[in-house]
């Protein structure tokens, strides 16, 4: 009877876990600056306005997904938090290089140049999440 209860429980939990991993992948894709800068582009913004917009978007995305930690592994959750923190560091570091009269386009180019010259942490994070998913089966 206990074995049957565990099987029934697994049938309900696995779809929730898969959905949580889907949300984790979506989170990584949504805060990847390559995607985020296209999505958030508004003509006429200053670099400071763009920085605030990007940081608000990252925090909103993270808060929207915070409950997913119930269903994904601790290592996957740690990856999501690190990606969030590293992205914030990238944004703030790029903004520190801006002049007071820099616009959002200048800021975006600086961010993308930094991304191009670094290892792709977003792809590495996706790989780790997918590895965790494969361990479910």
Rounded Cα distance, 133 and 137, in Å: 8
126 has pLDDT over 70: yes
What does pLDDT average to over the chain? 92
The phi-psi region of residue 32 (left if phi > 0; otherwise alpha if psi is between -120 and 50; otherwise beta) is: beta
Which pLDDT score is estimated for 7?
Answer: 65
Q: Give tens-digit pLDDT for 28-56.
A: 999 999 999 999 999 999 999 999 999 99
For helices 47-65 and 33-40, give the axis angle rounded to 10 degrees: 120
Q: Give tens-digit pLDDT for 3-22.
A: 666 666 667 788 899 999 99
Q: Give tens-digit pLDDT for 67-96.
A: 999 999 999 999 999 999 999 999 999 999
Write down the pTM of the prediction. Answer: 0.89
CA angle 131, 136, 137 (to 5 degrees): 105
Rounded Cα distance, 87 and 85, in Å: 5
């Amino acid at each position: 009877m206990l074995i049957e209860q565990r099987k029934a429980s697994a049938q309900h939990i696995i779809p929730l876990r898969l959905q949580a991993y889907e949300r984790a992948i979506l989170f990584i894709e949504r805060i990847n600056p390559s995607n985020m800068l296209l999505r958030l582009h508004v003509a006429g913004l200053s670099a400071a306005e763009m920085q605030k917009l990007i940081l608000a978007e990252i925090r909103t995305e993270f808060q929207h997904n915070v409950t997913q930690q119930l269903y994904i592994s601790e290592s996957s959750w740690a990856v999501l938090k690190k990606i969030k923190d590293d992205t914030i560091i990238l944004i703030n570091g790029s903004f520190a290089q801006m002049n007071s009269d820099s616009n959002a386009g200048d800021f975006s180019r600086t961010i993308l140049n930094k991304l191009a010259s670094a290892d792709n942490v977003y792809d590495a994070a996706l790989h780790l999440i997918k590895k965790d998913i494969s361990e479910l089966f």
